[in-house]
Amino acid sequence: MKSKKLLASSMAMALLCFLSFMYWYEWSASALSPSEIEDYLAKIEAQSHEPGGRHDLSALRTFLEADDGEPIYTVNMYSFQTVADYPEGSGFGGSGPDAYERFSSVMIPLMIRRGSHPIYGSNWVDRANSKWDRIVIVRYRSRRDLVDIFATDAFADASLHKWASLRGHDRMLVQALHIPDGRYAILFLALIAGFVTYGVGTRAKRRQHQAGTG
């Protein structure tokens, strides 16, 4: 009976972990309303955009007005400065990739807090057929999450490093199904964790019983 209770508790914990993950990863809000779009655009417009990197607000508006609350993917292509192009007196230096890593150290936590993350990245590109140094594909939980990142002071401040790092940049925005679907892998791992918890608990109970009868 105790073993059955332990198994049930372990499976319940695994299910709770999976549901918590799904809430974080699959949470979808309703599409952005016109007033929300205006609020976000006003926040972004008010940010400092020196030394560069001002958003194309007209294109951003069009992008946000097409929001349907579903996940999106960005396919990002980067070419880096040999030496980061920081403004004089910024206090920063290093190579273009160094500067981009400073930007990434801010950007990735902002994404993760919003159920978003890179799913692919490579620093190897066929130089005979491409001008890019790095390709990164990022999954965003929704357009709301992406613009919510844009509107943060942390993103605006970190843009100093992004634009100092880049010689060129292009991006494609797509909506698609992530194959393979990571949700099922997480469910499988959650179930495995439940069985492991059950096994560890059963072994601990057995040892306690043996110690008590020894």
Q: Using CB atoms within 10 Å of the CB of residue 88, give its burial: 0 to 12 exposed, 13 to 18 middle, 19+ buried.
A: exposed
How many separate helices (H) and strands (E) can be counted in the chain? 7, 4
Cβ atoms 125, 135 nearer than 8 A:
yes
Cβ atoms 161, 100 nearer than 8 A:
yes
Cβ atoms 61, 41 nearer than 8 A:
yes
3-state helix, strand, coil in the chain (%, to 5): 55, 15, 30
Predicted local distance difference test score (pLDDT) of residue 149 = 95
Predicted local distance difference test score (pLDDT) of residue 53 = 60
Predicted local distance difference test score (pLDDT) of residue 2 = 60
Query: Which two three-digit tokens encode residue 51?
Result: 């030394």
- Name the 3-class secondary structure at 172: strand
pLDDT tens column, 125-135: 777 778 899 99
CA geometry: angle 34, 40, 44, nearest 5 deg: 145
Q: Is the pTM of this model over 0.85?
A: no
- Beta-sheet strand order (sheet of 117-122): 117-122, 134-140, 72-80, 166-174
Rg, Å, the chain Cα set: 23
pLDDT tens column, 45-60: 988 766 556 688 899 9
Residue stretches of the chain with pLDDT short of 50? none
Q: CA neighbours within 13 Å on the CB side: how many for 50?
A: 4
- Name the 3-class secondary structure at 214: coil
Predicted local distance difference test score (pLDDT) of residue 167 = 93
Query: How many residues can be counted in the chain?
Result: 214
Predicted local distance difference test score (pLDDT) of residue 166 = 94
